[in-house]
A and B are shown apart, each in its own frame.
Chain A
Amino acid sequence: MNRTLSTLILAALLVFLIGPFLIIVGASLSAGDTLAFPPQGLSLKWIAKVFTVESFRDSFIMSMILAVGGTFVALLLGVPAAYALSRYKLPFGEIVNTIVTLPIIVPGIIVGLALLRYLVVPFSFSIGVALFLAHTALVLPYTVRVVSSSFNNLRSDMEEAAVLLGATRLGAFFKVVLPNIQSGILAAFILGFVTSFNQVPVSLFLSGPGVRTLPIDMLSYMETTYDPSVAALSALLALMSIGIVFLAERFLGFSRYV
């Protein structure tokens, strides 16, 4: 009885988690001209079409720049911040910790509106710069949190040992601390990359003529053209994410950090 129930719950869970993905993959393989499931016949033509749509290519590059560049900058800021938060008793450490986790809780749509109203409009930032800043800010909390847990697992006496052997504090950080949190940094990078790449609400507010991220571009494409190429693109992106997370789990034990 109990066993049947838990099997049912598990099955329902899998259907809800994997079902949409299977529908998208199915729809993308359709031979018909409209987005539909079950697919009308089988063909790869929509997957091929994805690569010929110019705006997809541009927005993909934009998304990659934001995801890679934004996460990189977020790490540059987040790693020292996480280090300070885990090593020192800062006067406002607890508050900073809370603030750092806020963007995870605050709906993206609010962040987007706020950035638009108080950054882009008054300072006339270009859309590209605003998007970059927004994505960096969005990813920062994730990097701080993931890297913090790496620091917390690393005993501070290792740095003291390095200092007593003649290293400076900074030298100890680069020679002893950094090599031992590499996998945490990589995990933070992957999480940040995926978060930024999939980001819709904030980007929605900050996208402008000629500058948009891939998810936003897909939305606007669907408004005008209701063909399966969006499904094909979604399936490709999902596969990319699965591939990244699979490799990360395989080589880093990603799930330890997230």
Chain B
Amino acid sequence: MSDRAFLSLENLTLSYGNSIAVDKFNLDIRKGELVAFLGPSGCGKTTTMRSIAGLLTPTAGRITLDGTDITRVSANKRNVGLVFQSYALFPHLTVYENVAFGLRLKRMSDADIDARVTAGIKSVGLSALSGRKPTELSGGQQQRVALARSMVMEPKVLLLDEPLSNLDARLRVEMRAELQRVQKETGVTMIFVTHDQAEALSLADRIVVMREGLIEQVGTPEEIYNNPASSFVADFVGFENVFALRGGKLATPGGAVALAEALPGDAAGLAWRPSGVALETGPFKGTVKSVSFTGNLREYLLETPLGPITAEVGAALPVHALGAELAFDLPLKAAAPLQRFA
């Protein structure tokens, strides 16, 4: 049962004139799953989310929710919640009336509405502020109201548009915990859209990396982080040193470079995180172009015959000055093999 797809997108395609925003998107989402759509702006993640909500009509393809084809069902009948990036609260209504808005349209009794609204506001910790207008709330509080407003409708799917990006670091941690709590308590299926890999990695059960309307990779945060399928994903999750493989050698701006170890034959490329580059040892040489201190670590940008290389070492180690020549190595055991290079 839980393995069956709860929300299923089949060949979902959206195009505007000649440009295709989402191209034959296929994805099955299980009930209660927390999925992130991750990608840079313009990758189609928001378009996909909006078509699940019913705010956009797909050019082709099918959306099935809980066994029903909802592709042509209008947005107000889908029972899909959406927490907007701007929160989109109704400025003329109090917190209480904002949360009650959807329930009032359902012709429920006042007592039922009051019970659900009160519980909804309480669950996001805003009971004391229920008489306030949205403009009298902080951004974080407004987002909680938006969350409560969607959740009292008991949506089948809750969509969140960049839920953490407008918050400062401390609120971000709070909201992350809040979303995980809501998901655990209600078991609601959640999809959120983000351009921030840290946000996706920390919150999602499964990440869908998108690029130019296509799915680049689908996987758990660990899979995406450790085994990026393509150079694009590798770059996106912090592999700063990405090389194509051609004929068993690294393709670099300075020509083909062979590594000491035998390279895997089937990979299209190799990628190293800054922490995977070994410094002060190895066959390659580079010149220090910049040094930046990031707390525990010190990051070096090297100019090398292989192109720019970013390396990271413990900040406690001796500092190398700008212009110093450093030996480095790209050890195969620290490399992630890429299936696709583009």
Contact = CB atoms under 8 A, between A and B. Distances in A.
Interface string B244-285: 000000000000000000000000000000000000000000
Given A162-B101, A167-B105, A180-B91, A157 B84 contact: yes
Interface in A168-186: 168, 171, 175-176, 179-180
B88 A160 contact: yes
B88 A166 contact: no
Given A163-B75, A180-B91, A157 B86 contact: yes
Given A155-B86, A157-B84, A164 B75 contact: yes
B170 interface: no
Contacts of B184: none
Contacts of B82: 160-161, 164
Contacts, number: 62
Contacts of A164: 53-55, 75-76, 78, 80-82, 150
Interface string A222-250: 00000000000000000000000000000
A100 B290 CA distance: 59
Contacts of A175: 101
Given A166-B153, A167-B105, A171-B105, A161 B88 contact: yes
A158 interface: yes
Given A157-B84, A161-B82, A161-B84, A166 B105 contact: yes
Contacts of A155: 86, 88
B333 interface: no
A165 B105 contact: yes
B102 to A, nearest CB: 3
A165 B91 contact: no
B90 A176 contact: yes
Nearest to A160: B55
Nearest to B99: A165
Given A160-B55, A160-B84, A161-B82, A167 B76 contact: yes
Nearest to A161: B88
Given A176-B90, A179-B92, A180-B91, A163 B84 contact: no
A175 to B, nearest CB: 8
Contacts of A176: 90
B90 A158 contact: yes
A142 B81 CA distance: 38
A171 B77 CA distance: 14
A158 B171 CA distance: 24
A47 B54 CA distance: 64
Contacts of B80: 164
B149 interface: yes
B90 A162 contact: yes
Nearest to A182: B92
Contacts of A179: 90, 92
Contacts of A158: 88-90
A35 B93 CA distance: 55
Interface string B138-157: 00000000100110010000
Contact of A163 (B76, B86, B91, B153): B76
A176 B153 CA distance: 18
A180 B91 CA distance: 7
Nearest to A165: B102
Contact of A165 (B55, B92, B149): B149
Interface in B59-78: 75-78
15 contacts: A160-B55, A160-B84, A161-B82, A161-B89, A161-B146, A162-B90, A162-B101, A163-B75, A163-B76, A164-B55, A164-B76, A164-B78, A164-B80, A166-B77, A180-B91
Given A157-B88, A160-B82, A161-B84, 8 more contacts: A157-B86, A158-B89, A160-B55, A160-B88, A164-B55, A165-B102, A166-B77, A166-B105
